[in-house]
Amino acid sequence: IGVFDFLAVVGCELSEVVAERNSGLGRVLEPTRRFAHEVAVIDAIDACLPSLGAERANRLRAVAEDKEGELPAHRWNAIWLDSEVERFLGDGPASLVGGTDSSDGPRQLARVAREMAQKGPRFPPAESLEAAFRELRDDPAIGGVIREIDRARRDLSFVAARVVRTPTDSCDRTARRLVRIFEAHYLAIQSRLVEVDRRAGSVLEALDSLYRASAQGISVPPAMQQFGTAILDTSSESGLWQRYRAAVLGHAAAWDELLRVCGVIDV
């Protein structure tokens, strides 16, 4: 706000909020703190308006309305520019505290997403965001798991394509060789696929919910939009998770007839 408007609100909480932002530390606010500051400014303006003359009140009311419109962008930055979220989406360190499983952090993010969807752009409070991010510190980074899902998807699809080309009218030499490969390799990785399903599914669903809720009311940056569509979207057939699930099912279906012909238990 301008100098004269600032002088006019001395005595209101607004003057303290503005002064804090203009201090040395206030100029380098973390994204969550910047979001909290913008909400505090709007609330302080609303509280100060009754003590002002009509002209100045109208001017500050317009400032508050502009800032209200900018809140979705500040909230987006508070989430996706946070260093803890960046670590979690990347390669690590695997855990900052010693956690062994992605669980509490993603659940907190899902809760935050529900609050955003239900209550509007002022929510959740920055304190809730920071609490959720603290929970992430005990969770292994998810970047490696995302790459593992993509590798598994490609490998399973490749093998399925080879298997379906094998004649299944009899259990011939080629079929028996494939069955030995299945027994030697693919039975052993079933437990790993179950673990990937358990861990990655819940994490990606939480991140997908967070992405959708925080994207409301803003123009999502192109790179993040691509990431959201290709990686985080758990419902679209073009998203990584659904493509992975399709590959798992396709792999099982490809082996099914061959294993039946050779008298091996169904998959």
Task: Give 165: exposed, middle or buried? Use CB within 10 Å, 0-12, 13-18, 19+.
Answer: exposed
pLDDT at 14: 75
Sign (positive or negative) of CA dihedral 42, 66, 68, 213: negative
Distance of CA 54 to the CA centre of its chain: 44
Mean pLDDT of the chain: 82
pTM score over 0.85 = no
pLDDT at 45: 87
Confidence check: pLDDT of 54 > 50? yes
Q: What is the mean pLDDT of residues 137-165?
A: 88
pLDDT at 93: 65
The confidence band for 150, taking pLDDT boundaries of 50, 70 and 90, is very high
pLDDT at 267: 43
**Phi and psi, residue 2, nearest 5°:** -75, 170
The confidence band for 27, taking pLDDT boundaries of 50, 70 and 90, is low
pLDDT at 51: 81
pLDDT at 7: 43
d(C-alpha 8, C-alpha 20), whole Å? 17
Looking at the chain, the whole-number percentage of residues with pLDDT higher than 70 is: 87
Contact 43, 66 (CB under 8 A): no
d(C-alpha 65, C-alpha 62), whole Å? 5
d(C-alpha 178, C-alpha 156), whole Å? 14
Q: What is the mean pLDDT of residues 85-114?
A: 72
d(C-alpha 21, C-alpha 67), whole Å? 15
The confidence band for 247, taking pLDDT boundaries of 50, 70 and 90, is very high
**Phi and psi, residue 217, nearest 5°:** 85, 5
Contacts of 181 (CB under 8 A, 6+ apart): none
24-28, 123-127, 173-177, 231-235: range with lowest mean pLDDT = 24-28
The confidence band for 58, taking pLDDT boundaries of 50, 70 and 90, is confident
Q: Which residue has the higher pLDDT, 16 or 31?
A: 31
pLDDT at 22: 59
